[in-house]
Amino acid sequence: MKMDRRKILTMLGISPALLAGSSAEAAKAGTAAVASNAGPGKITTLNPKGMTLNPKGMPPPSHLSPMAPRQGGLEGKTVYLVDTGFHGGDRYLQQVQGWFNRNMPSVKVEFRRKAGSYPEDDPKLWAEIKEKGHAAIMAIGH
């Protein structure tokens, strides 16, 4: 089966001028060459038309929002530590639980494993935290 490289590149949103192998050919196709002086073993990359990111491919800067105002401390309150199943999250939360036990013994710490994977809902756990908890720390990874 013969592969049509131009068709594949077009479907991927890449200019077929990439096949031409030179900046001059890319310029004819209306794309800007990002890398130049491509020699043997090097690849020239192209910036396709309609690119929404800036020329270096960096996302726009994020804008910071202030933290919500604190409503007193945690003394005498209940904090839920929620493990979502991310590798090592349970061990991390056990360390957090130990810190609370040593440094803030009046804080009640409840360790829970969330049902399902990270993006799945766990209405029973959220209802328990809403009813009995004052804060929650979730180990979601990365």
- pLDDT above 90 coverage of the chain, percent: 39
d(CA 10, CA 47): 13
Per residue in 26-76, pLDDT tens? 455 554 444 445 456 777 666 665 555 555 566 677 888 888 887 788 999
d(CA 52, CA 58): 10
Angstrom CA distances, 82 to 62, 101, 120, stand at 28, 17, 14
Q: Is the pTM of this model over 0.85?
A: no
Under a CB-based contact definition with an 8 Å cutoff, are residues 95 and 104 in contact?
no
Residue 22: strand, helix, or coil: coil
* Structural domain boundaries in the chain: 5-47, 78-139
